[in-house]
Structure 1
Amino acid sequence: MGRTFIAQRGQTKSTNDRQFRRDRQTPEVRYSIENAVEIFIHAKEAEGLRKSTIKGYHDTVRYFRDWLSHDIGYIDEITSTLIRNYINYLKNDRLPYQGDEQREKTKKGLSVFTINIRLRNLKAIFRFLVDEGIINKNPTGNIPLVKDDEHEEVQGLADAEIDMILGSYDDKQFAQWRDKTLVLLLLDTGLRINEAMSLTVDNVGFQQNTLIVPSEIAKNRKHREIPISREISKRLRQLVDETEQYFGEGSRIFMNAYGDDFTADAFRKRLNRLKKKLDIPKLHPHMLRHTFARNYILNGGDVFTLQKILDHADIQTTRKYIQMDSEHLRQQHNKFSPVRRLFNRKGKRL
């Protein structure tokens, strides 16, 4: 039996400290996986997390529960070994797009990026459950994120590819003219696709040539004002006039041909079809954001202003967006080479 340490006279006798801690950590009730997750979800909803974030937690648990043995029903039965086995399953056995015959691939294993999204969500859930006293031990506590070889960051589009894309649209067709306007807007502002799709007439300052991204649609929940070029402002005004003519006032700026909200997924699918038509290796909305970032710097913009426009909390994230291919590197080197300046000095011979 451990000895009791007395620091001050007059203390009442207490239970052995180690035994007290052990007793206090023992939950009185065992929670099912479903009940424990429900408590977590309710807490996050109370904190004001967005619906998309809540859905991400739901999806993560659903994927994990589908893999988990049905013999395991209580949250305290989930161990670190189970979590590691699940990670190995995601790395080696899980088929991407499983269940979708048109998209399912023969190669097994999800990307490290996708695995780490699920692992981060599981870590958040179990960390909360420990803090709330629902379980004693965090089974993900000693499990690091999955490491991977360094991959090339998302590249922007080459100038020739941009010309091909813009030249492919038929301005006589409403949907194609709208798509072209959206592409130009993303190339001019670097907006996230969901931010662009949520824009209304009230968010555009046509006289000031500015866009307002309200905090409720911004990823980082920060209200920001973005400058736009005069040409894009005029084009948006024309799109708004046509949209209101067809579908009435109060509509979003980007609508489909039936008067419904044009969605990010619908735009991605249209870009994917265009990619195949033009034989471009990759084409998705985020590439337009990266293209804006790269060209902004190449045209003389500074990285600190770019960080503000892109709504990045960390400037290191902004730096990752500035990916230049070999041709851009050659152009910049020719423009700023110190030795070339020496040769170009009047009367200077080396």
Structure 2
Amino acid sequence: MKRRIIGERGLKVSPQDRQISNVLYTMDEALEAFIRAKTAEGVRKGTLTGYHDIFRYFRQWLDEEITNINDITADTIRNYINYLRTERTPYAEDPQRKRTGKGLSVHTINIRIRGLCTLFRFLYNDGIISYNPMQNISQVRDDAHEEVPGLPDKQIDAILASYVDRQFAQWRDKTLIILLLDTGLRIGEALSLTADQVNFKELSITVPSQIAKKRKSREIPISREVAKRLRQLLDETQQYFGEGCKLFMNAYGEDLTDDAFRRRLNRLKRKLNISKLHPHMFRHTFARNYVLNGGDIFTLQRILDHADIQTTRKYVQMDNEHIREQHNKFSPLRNIIKRNGIRV
């Protein structure tokens, strides 16, 4: 008979001190207990949705005969990870993004591993399971690879030139991209903007703590040109949808979502024959260009809302063309040649 071990949350309990119950939890009951606890802790809705999705993907793969959470073993988890690495089709649920190859990226697999680790650690600490199958599971290793790259200048020009300003949706998307390139906002932060968050006089945007990833309010400067476009966009959306609307709305008066914007970028990517295009690339492009234009990395860290300067450094990815440009501009050899009158 499988038994439930109850102990103080977060504390190791010796086998002699554990209270044992005959209660068994189904998969759904265990997940519900986990979600209730995380909701009580104040975890945001988006994070809870992420946990739901991670567990849903896991459930879809599991054998239908496995119904109780205690039936999950470390071997079950390892088999699932191998499935994700070699058999799972990326974006299988999204026809527009579905890929022909097999195997998810290491980054995606590790996100799912971290989610399952959080789930099963909670279940074990709360006594819902007597054994934590994730205890000895490590994240998948990968060869060193470049972080999300920024967009080359030619691609940025092509993207902006592709929009038809006479059409509201395209003019709105272009305004959104220009905003991202000017501020480095996360796509969720940009799409949540309301009129009271934009200070058109002081040329700044406030990201409230309820939206910010670090739960700390911050103010970001914006260029005068961007403020002008946002003012025009706000006037038009308020005219059609009322004063309570957000800046970025779809043609039906609904909030523009990040998924909808990603789908629109995917269509644009195919149209312009660009290998990769998604919202976060504009944030990385801003970070790279900010430094190339003379901005200091510590100010950039504040703007991007990074807790660690090392994270900010990873965002500043420069391709060979930018490296050559910076070398030609700042090489100390030129001053040496000038001082010594060396002819070349």
State the TM-score, normalized to the length of structure 2. 0.90
Q: Identify unmatched segments of 5+ residues in structure 1.
A: 1-19
Residue 185 (structure 1) aligned with residue 179 (structure 2)? yes
Partner of 2:17: 24
Partner of 2:190: 196
CA–CA distance in structure 1, aligned partners of residues 51 and 254 of structure 2: 29
Which of 78, 85, 93 lines up with 2:72 in the alignment?
78
State the 1:280 CA deviation.
Answer: 2.2
Partner of 1:342: 336
CA–CA distance in structure 1, aligned partners of residues 93 and 133 of structure 2: 30
Tell me which amino acid in the other structure corresponds to 2:183.
Answer: T
CA–CA distance in structure 2, aligned partners of residues 272 and 97 of structure 1: 13
CA–CA distance in structure 1, aligned partners of residues 93 and 265 of structure 2: 24
State the 1:96 CA deviation.
Answer: 2.3
Tell me which amino acid in the other structure corresponds to 2:221.
Answer: P
State the 1:36 CA deviation.
Answer: 2.0
Partner of 1:4: none
Tell me which amino acid in the other structure corresponds to 1:260.
Answer: E
Q: Percent identity?
A: 65
Structure 1 stretch displaced more, 90-99 or 33-42: 90-99
Residue 300 (structure 1) aligned with residue 294 (structure 2)? yes
CA–CA distance in structure 2, aligned partners of residues 265 and 348 of structure 1: 58
CA–CA distance in structure 1, aligned partners of residues 284 and 112 of structure 2: 25
Which of 256, 271, 279 lines up with 1:277 in the alignment?
271
**Cα gap change, 1:71 to 1:266, in 2 (>3 Å):** closer
Residue-pair matches, total: 331
Partner of 2:203: 209
Q: Identify unmatched segments of 5+ residues in structure 2.
A: 1-12
Q: Any conservation in 2 of the 1:26–1:136 contact (CA below 8 Å)?
A: no
Residue 232 (structure 1) aligned with residue 229 (structure 2)? no
CA–CA distance in structure 2, aligned partners of residues 136 and 25 of structure 1: 10
Q: Any conservation in 2 of the 1:27–1:134 contact (CA below 8 Å)?
A: no
Q: Any conservation in 1 of the 2:30–2:128 contact (CA below 8 Å)?
A: yes
Tell me which amino acid in the other structure corresponds to 1:140.
Answer: M
Q: Any conservation in 2 of the 1:25–1:136 contact (CA below 8 Å)?
A: no
**Cα gap change, 1:67 to 1:169, in 2 (>3 Å):** closer
CA–CA distance in structure 2, aligned partners of residues 213 and 305 of structure 1: 16
CA–CA distance in structure 1, aligned partners of residues 178 and 94 of structure 2: 33
CA–CA distance in structure 2, aligned partners of residues 312 and 159 of structure 1: 25
CA–CA distance in structure 1, aligned partners of residues 114 and 326 of structure 2: 39
State the 1:138 CA deviation.
Answer: 1.3
User: 1:106-145 residue pairs with structure 2 within 5 A?
Assistant: 106-145=100-139
State the 1:255 CA deviation.
Answer: 1.5
Which of 138, 150, 153 lines up with 2:147 in the alignment?
153
Tell me which amino acid in the other structure corresponds to 1:22.
Answer: P
Tell me which amino acid in the other structure corresponds to 1:333.
Answer: H
- Give RMSD over aligned pairs: 1.9
Structure 1 stretch displaced more, 321-330 or 78-87: 78-87
User: 1:293-332 residue pairs with structure 2 within 5 A?
Assistant: 293-332=287-326
**Cα gap change, 1:315 to 1:61, in 2 (>3 Å):** same
Q: Any conservation in 1 of the 2:96–2:263 contact (CA below 8 Å)?
A: no
Tell me which amino acid in the other structure corresponds to 2:161.
Answer: G
**Cα gap change, 1:303 to 1:93, in 2 (>3 Å):** same
CA–CA distance in structure 2, aligned partners of residues 233 and 254 of structure 1: 14
Deviations 1:103-160, CA, capped at 9 Å, x for gaps: 5433222221111111111111111122112223211111100111222221111111
**Cα gap change, 1:27 to 1:117, in 2 (>3 Å):** farther
* SS of residue matched to 2:260: helix
Tell me which amino acid in the other structure corresponds to 2:152.
Answer: A
Tell me which amino acid in the other structure corresponds to 2:66.
Answer: I
CA–CA distance in structure 1, aligned partners of residues 279 and 209 of structure 2: 21
Tell me which amino acid in the other structure corresponds to 2:299.
Answer: T
CA–CA distance in structure 2, aligned partners of residues 211 and 188 of structure 1: 11
CA–CA distance in structure 2, aligned partners of residues 213 and 330 of structure 1: 36
* SS of residue matched to 1:27: strand
In our comparison, the structure showing a higher alpha carbon Rg is 1
